[in-house]
Chains A and B, each alone.
Chain A
Amino acid sequence: MTSQIRKLPPELSGVQVEMEEHAANYGLDFFPTIFEIVDVNQLNSIAAYGGFPTRYPHWRFGMAYEKLAKGYAYGLQKIYEMVINNDPCYAYLLDSNSITDHRMVIAHVYGHCDFFKHNYWFSQTNRKMIDEMANHGNRIRRYMDRFGTETVELFIDACLSIDDLIDIHSPFIKRSSEASRYQFKANTDVEADVPAEDRFRAKSYMDAYINPKSTAQDSPGHSADAQDDNPPASFPNEPTRDVMAFLLNHAPLAPWQQDVLSIIRDEAYYFAPQGQTKIMNEGWATFWHSTIMTRHGICNGGDVIDYADHTSGTLASSPTRLNPYKLGLDLFRDIEDRWNRGCFGREFEECDEYESQRTWNTGVGKGREKIFEVRRIHNDLTFIDEFLTLDFCRRHNMFSFGYNDESGYYELESRKFQEIKQRLLFSLTNMGRPMIHVKDGNYKNRGELYLEHKFNGPELKVTYARDTLEHLYRLWSRPVHIETVLEERVVILSFDGIEHELTKTKEPAGEKETIEL
């Protein structure tokens, strides 16, 4: 970046203090938040880096920057702010925003910061990620200096192609010990030949001398004998969803490659809760900026116009795209209203008179308490499942749509509540990504990798699957396969390093016919 990021000018510092006080008075609780003011080019470049200006270099960040910069230049989009889940939280404000925008954005940021700190799905994220990302950047730059930029970038491309094949629930379930998660030698360029338990601590440049290969092979714990007596069996014992961890532990990678893969994996886990809570997180922040602004943040008539103009843009509904800001905000408001009026529980649910339900009011006033509880424990999937009701669906005229092959248009498919909800839940399950796990790391006893796609409706996009298999081959170095469903038939897509193959099966264990792609 060419110019310096600036601290807040005095007039905005005053706004920050004021908004922080309002947010705290409403019960929001956040990490200390550092605001910095940037110009549009800086904000676009920070956004392109996913919010971390010190991140590792990679061509895709340049591509993302170009997209954001062009979108801004053509008036298609504008980023008002960026906020980073870290302790302290960092927030970047756009210097061309009006003072009303700044007030709104600062209030919005405090909503996000509260969510980061208190939502359960963020509880296992690294709160020092700014430092960690800088560390990742240094390590990758060092590998680029040593092994060449193109070599490292190509390897990063391969890692990124599978960066959503992680087990998003694993931070909350101890499936393996911390030690066994990283049995490779991260941050070194020495062959991983000495078992971790036999190693002496050493800097990377001294490692070969302190832990020589011969010592490792002579050591009593060295298990070369196991290879001769027991031919390799199928593994893992159970299908594993964390494909990246599986590759870290079993793929024939050089230590620097293992380190790069572990970096990409760590970052994928860091970003995963943001994907899991997009609707809630934006809804929560919008709920609070709306509450604070409409009660305390508007000073004159001009402010009303600015605020209403920008908020209407943010909350605009599109018939073809879900707006997470609007859905999240409306759901939080609906929950607060229902719990204020006592519209919950058995008595309410069992009431079958529409008018009685509509005017139901026990005056219990538990709305505020309830929305804080919801923000603490839910993610988007459970949020929608629990709180998207038939009544809400009707009031907001929700519908599902799909592409009609015959007419060539996107068309309204259904206004049925169950279908709309099911479709929404599908799109949120596993953050809308396919569920894929490693079924066999020694397929056909030939060291080939066999993945299985847990089919639940949407098919894999074959062009994407083929590219991913090629990248996966680069990591695994042996043929790779994925079992999935295409056109209602179980198929196996394979890549052997030269060509792709699609094997159709009637049943998983049935006869197979092979088609050359």
Chain B
Amino acid sequence: MLRPSWNDQTGKSLERTYEVRVGHARVRVQSASPAEAITQARARFCIDMPRMWDVIHSLEMNRFDVRVIESP
């Protein structure tokens, strides 16, 4: 499901800051939904840990722990 990242009526961003954790690794990302946050976090983890690219790439969504840090 596509979710807009901007509120059309107020013009404010709907993006939140999420902290995404997997194992001991954690990263903060701005996104409009937890699913998008996981996608972004997955890409960041791949860059930060290139030797684990294949593992991170194939991790199930439920292995990521997503927490809202900051709302708009």
Contact = CB atoms under 8 A, between A and B. Distances in A.
A485 to B, nearest CB: 46
Given A295-B55, A365-B57, A336 B50 contact: yes
Contact of B51 (A291, A359, A361): A291
Interface string B53-64: 111010000000
7 contacts: A291-B51, A294-B51, A333-B50, A337-B53, A340-B46, A361-B46, A368-B54
Interface residues of A, number: 14
B43 A340 contact: no
Interface in B24-53: 43, 46-47, 50-51, 53
A367 interface: yes
A287 to B, nearest CB: 10
Nearest to B47: A361
A363 interface: yes
Nearest to B54: A368
A363 B57 CA distance: 10
A316 B57 CA distance: 31
Interface of B: 43, 46-47, 50-51, 53-55, 57
> What are the 8 tightest A-B residue pairs by CB atom distance, in nearest-first order?
A337-B50, A340-B53, A368-B54, A365-B57, A361-B47, A363-B43, A367-B53, A333-B51
B53 A365 contact: yes
Contacts of B53: 336-337, 340, 365, 367
A341 interface: yes
A377 B50 CA distance: 24
B42 to A, nearest CB: 9
Contacts of B57: 365
Contacts of B55: 295
A78 B39 CA distance: 47
Interface of A: 291, 294-295, 333, 336-337, 340-341, 359, 361, 363, 365, 367-368
Contacts of B54: 367-368
Contacts of B50: 333, 336-337, 340
Contacts of A367: 53-54
Nearest to B52: A295
A365 B47 CA distance: 11
Nearest to A294: B51
A186 to B, nearest CB: 50
Contacts of B43: 361, 363
Nearest to B57: A365
Contacts of B46: 340, 361, 363
Nearest to A339: B53
Contacts of A291: 51
B47 A341 contact: yes
Contacts of B47: 341, 359, 361
A336 B51 CA distance: 8
A340 B47 CA distance: 9
Given A295-B55, A336-B53, 16 more contacts: A291-B51, A294-B51, A336-B50, A337-B50, A340-B46, A340-B50, A359-B47, A361-B43, A361-B46, A361-B47, A363-B43, A363-B46, A365-B57, A367-B53, A367-B54, A368-B54
A328 to B, nearest CB: 15
Contacts of A336: 50, 53
Nearest to A290: B51
Contacts of A341: 47
Contacts of A368: 54
A341 B44 CA distance: 11
A256 B46 CA distance: 62
A88 to B, nearest CB: 29
Contacts of A333: 50-51
Nearest to A291: B51
